[in-house]
Structure 1
Amino acid sequence: MSDAARKLDDPRGHFTYADYRQWELAEGERYELIDGVAYAMGAPNDAHAMAGPDTEHQLISGELFRQIANYLHGKPCKVFSAPFDVRLFYQEDETDITVVQPDISVICDAKKIGTEGCRGAPNLVIEILSPSNTGEESVKKFNLYLEAGVQEYWIVSPKSKTVQVNILEDGAYQARTYKADAVLPVRVLEGLSITLGDVFN
């Protein structure tokens, strides 16, 4: 077990991005930092080892990334896939206490793209649910993205083959759910629509 893992076992632990940067994790270990609390990513095989995303998750993520990346070729917005650190409430002195790793992030402000990841809220965030996701985690992420001002937030469910699209309007998310046979327009990328039949094929 790495020293970082030992520290993260301590329920009193409260961390900043500066702490997060210093962790020397074992192979396969990944964490997100939410309000200073470290959360292990993936489903645990044992007390400290994390399982990576399953095949279905990777196929869905890959197809979404492909469609978005093809559209963005030669355009100013950039798309990134996990692992990619997103510092939603960026502080230059690294005292910020939230770092997440969405499955896919689209960033249209070049000033937000740093050497370490995204400095601020992406324009679009896509999270793909997995069996290890908890209801508490989903609520935390929803509220974080809302507070940070993420304009468009997708929650993709491989199990139900649906995408819940949350659009930020007047300080709140307006939600709409799309099924597997739909063509989903991307609000923040005018002219792009995602063919969900290819995503959930």
Structure 2
Amino acid sequence: MSMHEEKREYSYADYLSWTEDFCCEAIDGHIIAMSPSPTPKHQDVVAELTAEFKMFLRGKECMAFSAPIDVCLFASKETKHDDIKDWVQPDLLVVCDPNKIGEKYITGAPDLTVEVLSPSTTKNDRQIKFKSYEKAGVKEYWIVDPHHMSVEVYELDGDAYIQKGIFVREDQLKVGLFEGFEIDLKNVFKE
């Protein structure tokens, strides 16, 4: 696939037909170009958060995954690839319904998604993906800023997100989905 090809919208079937080294996301069939490889700081934050979730969820029904893994937001396992127009690769996601976990991708809204900002993805994460996650019914959405060492937490209230808080390196972040799960952000954001 060449990004110079002109097409009104793409499906997940199109995406699967492209070369394996091409990675992208789409909202309403429109490609969101992926940024260059993440920085070491970005990857470290993702790895630390993933470790926190993996340890807490060990032996429980919910599962945590880190990118790259495709999430087909508005699909079910029965949805044909030609009919899937929205797929994303959150930096971290938690799925509590085992029926959403397919052999190659996730179908439907995860329970929690986390996006770690980078200069080239900030607009997508704060606007485009924010609205898509909200519309899909993702219960909790975190926007993590590694530069400012902060986490913005949004929880779904009806069909709209409300901000539950902004947490910084010195805080203990209580994970809304799981009683008794707190993350010491000093373990996530290193000075």
Q: Could you state the TM-score of these two structures normalised by the residue count of structure 2?
A: 0.93
Deviation at 1:138, TM superposition (A): 2.6
Matches within 5 A, 1:138-149: 138-149=126-137
Deviation at 1:145, TM superposition (A): 0.3
After superposition, the Cα gap between the structure-2 partners of 1:89 and 1:129, relative to the gap in structure 1 and judged at 3 Å, is: same
* Larger RCO (CA under 8 A, 6+ residues apart): 2
- Structure 1 outlier segments of 4+, above 6 Å: none
Deviation at 1:13, TM superposition (A): 3.7
Give the CA RMSD over aligned residues. Answer: 1.3
Query: C-alpha distance in 1, partners of 2:175/2:16?
Result: 33
Query: C-alpha distance in 1, partners of 2:48/2:140?
Result: 19
Q: What does residue 30 of structure 2 align with?
A: 37
Equivalent of residue 93 in structure 1, options 80, 88, 99:
80
Equivalent of residue 104 in structure 2, options 98, 104, 116:
116
Residue identity in the other structure for 2:161: Y
Deviation at 1:136, TM superposition (A): 5.0
Q: What does residue 159 of structure 1 align with?
A: 147
Matched-pair contact (CA < 8 Å) for 2:117–2:125: no
CA offset digits 1:66-120 (Å, max 9, x no partner):
0110011111100000000000000511211000000001000000001121100
Secondary structure, aligned partner of 1:66: helix
Deviation at 1:134, TM superposition (A): 4.1
Secondary structure, aligned partner of 2:129: helix
Deviation at 1:160, TM superposition (A): 1.1
Query: C-alpha distance in 1, partners of 2:16/2:106?
Result: 14
Determine what percentage of the aligned residue pairs are the same residue.
39
Deviation at 1:12, TM superposition (A): 3.2
Query: C-alpha distance in 1, partners of 2:125/2:93?
Result: 18
After superposition, the Cα gap between the structure-2 partners of 1:137 and 1:200, relative to the gap in structure 1 and judged at 3 Å, is: closer
Aligned residues: 186
